[in-house]
Amino acid sequence: MTKKEALLKYTLRLADNASILGHRLGEWCGHGPVLEQDIAMTNIALDLIGQARNYYQYAAKLEAAGKTEDDYAYLRDPLDYYNLLLLEQPNGNFAHSIVRQYFFDIFHYLFLTALMSSKDKQLAAIAEKSIKEVTYHKKWSGDWILRLGDGTELSNEKMQTAINVLQTYVGELFLMDEVDEMMVKENIGVDLAPIKEEWTRIVQEHFTEAKLKLPDATWTQKGGKQGYHSEHLGYILADMQYLQRTYPGAVW
Amino acid sequence: MKDWPLWEVFIRSKQGLNHIHAGSLHAADAEMAIENARDVYTRRNEGISIWVVESKHVKASNPEDQGALFDPADNKIYRHPTFYVLPDELKHM
């Protein structure tokens, strides 16, 4: 793998993470538990889709094959998507969506903070632009962790169930492969080992306050970063790509 | 969530301007009311500062008192500064 190929894949992973989670949050539109939270979730969805666009545009420039951001979003199959498995998991109930969001927000914040000092000027600039949005995302999901964890017996139970289910996808956040290692060596990418340590410390501290438990990680689902997905991604893409697949080249 | 109280939201759009009533929303407490207000009322760059106050703390004038309260101001045109000739150099009045 050349450095250029690695950088393209690295960028697409970041793009797909933002795009798929943004799409999932968008599914809450019109279904939120209250109007105000419906808007909060769709605001976060729009932040993420905006970030995804920045990465896709950069990917198009890197690949220099005459593609646009839309080609990446609308014309790739699941095997060519590189998002983390956690992010394609279904919305479930509100607790599932909050836990998924919180797990990623803490990771995302630590990751972008490190990416701001990337040697790659464009990635550093996107990180810097995104960090304010993500600071708010983690405040929003963190507040809900506390409210629902330390809420009623029922809300605590629902949160703990969601944590136990989604925790099996957390390990993948910190797994490094050939692409990551090459990018770290080039001072472009982020070393995930210190991020994992910091993430675990923050989440454990917060969970203790919220009367929740982070189960010990003995095993993790993995493969999303390499293009091997759970069944859910196919459904997301069918929904997301329907229009461009059915009416190729359709525009407003 | 049905028992969440109602909050009145006031937004300051620019430094130096007053907070102006933007609308109302439901939230479990003041902290959540601020966050909800941020999401509902400042999405298009409307604000730099937010106040929230629980609606039950707002004492409103009684509509039946409208006549006694406001009608007397009706025929006192001299309270409007329209009888002065403004010098040309004076702008923005």
Q: What CATH number should be reported for the domain holding residue B49?
A: 3.10.20.520
Q: Is residue B27 part of a domain?
A: yes
Residue B9 has pLDDT above 90, yes or no: yes
Please provide the DSSP assignment of B17-55 as one string.
Answer: SPEEEEEEEE-SSHHHHHHHHHHHHSTTS--SEEEEEEG
B87 falls within a domain = no
Residue B86 domain flag: no
The per-residue pLDDT for range A180-225, each reduced to its tens digit, is 999 999 999 999 999 999 999 999 999 999 999 999 888 999 999 9
**Beta carbons of A36 and B27 less than 8 Å apart:** yes
Q: Is residue B91 part of a domain?
A: no
Q: Could you give the number of structural domains in chain B? A: 1
Distance from CA of A137 to the nearest CA of B (A): 11
Helix (H, G, I), strand (E, B) or coil at B9: strand
Q: Domain range spanning residue B41?
A: 6-76
Judged by CB atoms closer than 8 Å, whether chains meet at A143 and B32 is answered as: yes
Listed residue (A251, A110, A91, A106) closest to A193, CA to CA: A110
Cβ–Cβ of A39/B39 closer than 8 Å?
yes
Q: Check pLDDT > 90 for residue B75.
A: no
A191: phi then psi, degrees, rounded to nearest 5: -75, 120
Q: Of A187, A195, A232, which is closest to residue A104 (Cα–Cα)?
A: A195
The answer to whether residue B55 is domain-embedded is yes
Residue B28 at interface with chain A, using a CB cutoff of 8 Å: yes
Min Cα separation B16/chain A (Å): 25
pLDDT of residue B48: 94
Which chain B residue lies closest to A140 (C-alpha atoms)?
Answer: B35
Put simply, whether B30 touches A (Cβ < 8 Å) is: no
Tens digits of residue pLDDT in A55-110? 999 999 999 999 999 999 999 999 999 999 999 999 999 999 999 999 999 999 99
Q: What is the dihedral of CA B76, B82, B85, B89, to 10 degrees?
A: 140
Chain B partners within 8 Å of A43 (Cβ): 39, 43
Kindly tell me if the per-residue pLDDT of A49 is higher than 70. Answer: yes
Contact A34 B1 (CB under 8 A): yes
Classify residue B83: in a domain, yes or no.
no
Mind listing the domains of chain A with CATH numbers? 3-246 (1.20.1260.10)
**In the predicted model, is pLDDT for residue B81 greater than 90?**
no
Chain B partners of A39 at a C-beta cutoff of 8 Å? 36, 39-40, 43
Sorted by sequence, the CB contacts under 8 Å of residue A143 that are 6+ apart come out as B31, B32, B35
User: Which residue among B31, B39, B43 places its CB closest to the CB of A36?
Assistant: B39
B82 belongs to a structural domain: no
ipTM of this predicted structure: 0.78
- Give DSSP secondary structure letters for A129-160: HHHHHHHHHHHHHHHHHHHHHTS-HHHHHHHH
